[in-house]
Amino acid sequence: MFAWVIGVGMFAILVAPVTADAAVPADTSFGLTSSFTSVGLGQTSDLKGSIASIINIILGFLGIVAVIIILAGGFKWMTAGGNEDKVAEARQMIIQGIIGLVIIFAAWAIASFVVGQLGAATA
């Protein structure tokens, strides 16, 4: 039984990626076309839209990090066991995470406004 599991595991690690890579895509331009829609950053065909998509992706990632910090602070608070030093440290983590979220939302608002104004000025 153990040898069978090892055999299936070796097949999955060694052979499956090779067979998955054997498929030839129908589009052979490999993202080197003149529009920006084929690079997966949205459905815009101009540089402003692609930059806005990149900014949104980065700010979304930073938002996820801030929420993880808040959750880690909550976990630390729950496992503090009544120790006031740990509770104060956890409270500080939660406050820092909330401040981070506020900064991220402000950066998103500013970036959205600037890209919108640039789009209106150059249209």
**pLDDT value of position 50:** 79
Series of mean pLDDT values for 10-residue runs along the chain (123 residues): 68 60 57 53 66 88 94 95 93 95 93 85 75
Q: Classify residue 97: in a domain, yes or no.
A: yes
Q: Classify residue 11: in a domain, yes or no.
A: no
How far is Cα 35 from Cα 43, in angstroms, rounded to an integer? Answer: 9
Q: Classify residue 122: in a domain, yes or no.
A: yes
Q: Domain of 97?
A: 47-123
pTM: 0.60
**pLDDT value of position 116:** 84
Reference 107, options 30, 55, 57, 31; nearest CA is 55
Q: Return the CA Rg of the chain.
A: 24
Q: Classify residue 29: in a domain, yes or no.
A: no
Q: Classify residue 22: in a domain, yes or no.
A: no
Q: Classify residue 31: in a domain, yes or no.
A: no
**pLDDT value of position 53:** 83
Between CA 110 and CA 120, with CA 115 as vertex, the angle to 5 degrees is: 125
Q: Are the CB atoms for 53 and 41 separated by under 8 Å?
A: yes
Q: Classify residue 121: in a domain, yes or no.
A: yes
How far is Cα 42 from Cα 32, in angstroms, rounded to an integer? Answer: 15
Total tally of structural domains belonging to the chain: 1
**pLDDT value of position 122:** 77
**pLDDT value of position 43:** 58
Q: Are the CB atoms for 51 and 61 separated by under 8 Å?
A: no
CA neighbours closer than 13 Å in the CB half-sphere of residue 80: 17
**pLDDT value of position 46:** 73
Q: Classify residue 55: in a domain, yes or no.
A: yes
Q: Are the CB atoms for 63 and 103 separated by under 8 Å?
A: no
